[in-house]
């Protein structure tokens, strides 16, 4: 135990506290903050940052999925439809990275560009979600059941691409998409289904990255040491903070990171 504690890196532990606290406060921000933080602040190679964050997300999301499952707030039909699209797409993206070589210039460029795009989409969803939903309700509304199933699988395909290449998108983008596709579904089941789907998605993507050698266990353990206690504590105090203010602030940070990734 003592050896394990001594092996932890204080800066990575602190990063875990920061990101874990934001996740506990808002429910989003894990991949959209952790991966850019590892790349821009610590200089971790993009593929390693993505792969490490995917394993991190898979473990933390498993806990959330167990809680939602015990409370019967998961629609497994929706999870299955999403996974049909996302898991095979994840395998294709891992094969793409294998042939490009995860540490090559082309792979690094692809990952950073997709990461910037995913961060921008996430920021837009955080800030303009209510406006997007109002427009959707007024102009589209409820859709045909067959089309609903197909679009859910297509959503899974898109998430498979974004999450595998950037580790970002399963939260804000996934939830907003499900709210549009299933407007009559209870919000707790929307969130629970999205979290449940993120488990096989991030595990599959993380496993693929581990086969490519792009997972750093030392960083991973240090992140867990900081984030898990922070998530628990901030989840308990989240009711005292303005959710809108925190989300807008997070979105501004994501936009700044996106600009930094794309143009500098």
pTM value is 0.85
pLDDT tens string 119-175: 888 888 877 888 888 888 888 877 888 999 999 999 999 999 999 999 887 877 888
Report yes or no on 83 lying in a domain: yes
Report yes or no on 97 lying in a domain: yes
Report yes or no on 6 lying in a domain: no
Report yes or no on 255 lying in a domain: yes
pLDDT band at 246 (very low <50, low <70, confident <90, very high): low
Report yes or no on 204 lying in a domain: yes
Report yes or no on 5 lying in a domain: no
pLDDT tens string 187-209: 878 888 988 998 999 999 999 99
Instruction: Report DSSP state, residue 141.
Output: -
CB 90 within 8 A of CB 163: yes
Highest mean pLDDT among 3-7, 71-75, 80-84, 248-252: 80-84
Neighbours of 157 (CB within 10 A): 17
Report yes or no on 187 lying in a domain: yes
Report yes or no on 4 lying in a domain: no
Tokens for 4? 């394990």
SS (HEC) of 153-178: HHHHHHHHHHHHHHCCCCCHHHHHHH
Overall number of domains in the chain: 1
Provide the residue range defining the domain that includes 105: 11-263
């Amino acid at each position: 135990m003592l050896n394990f504690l001594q092996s932890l890196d204080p800066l990575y532990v602190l990063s875990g506290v920061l990101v874990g606290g934001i996740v506990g406060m808002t429910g989003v921000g894990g991949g959209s903050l952790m991966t850019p933080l590892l790349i821009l602040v610590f200089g971790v190679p993009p593929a390693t940052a993505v792969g490490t964050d995917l394993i991190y997300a898979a473990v933390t999301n498993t806990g959330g999925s167990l809680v939602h499952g015990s409370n019967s707030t998961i629609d497994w039909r929706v999870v299955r439809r999403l996974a049909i699209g996302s898991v095979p797409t994840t395998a294709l993206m891992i094969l793409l990275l294998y042939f490009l070589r995860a540490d090559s210039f082309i792979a690094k460029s692809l990952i950073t560009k997709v990461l910037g795009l995913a961060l921008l989409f996430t920021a837009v969803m955080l800030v303009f979600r209510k406006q997007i939903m109002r427009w959707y309700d007024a102009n589209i509304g409820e859709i045909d059941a067959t089309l609903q199933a197909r679009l859910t699988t297509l959503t899974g395909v898109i998430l498979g691409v974004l999450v595998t290449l950037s580790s970002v998108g399963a939260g804000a983008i996934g939830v907003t998409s499900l709210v549009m596709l299933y407007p009559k579904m209870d919000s707790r089941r929307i969130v629970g289904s999205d979290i449940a789907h993120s488990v096989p998605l991030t595990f599959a993507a993380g496993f693929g990255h581990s086969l490519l050698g792009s997972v750093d266990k030392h960083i991973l353990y240090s992140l867990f040491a900081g984030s898990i206690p922070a998530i628990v504590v901030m989840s308990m105090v989240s009711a005292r903070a303005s959710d809108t203010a925190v989300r807008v602030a997070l979105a501004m940070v994501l936009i700044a990171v996106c600009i930094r990734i794309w143009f500098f």
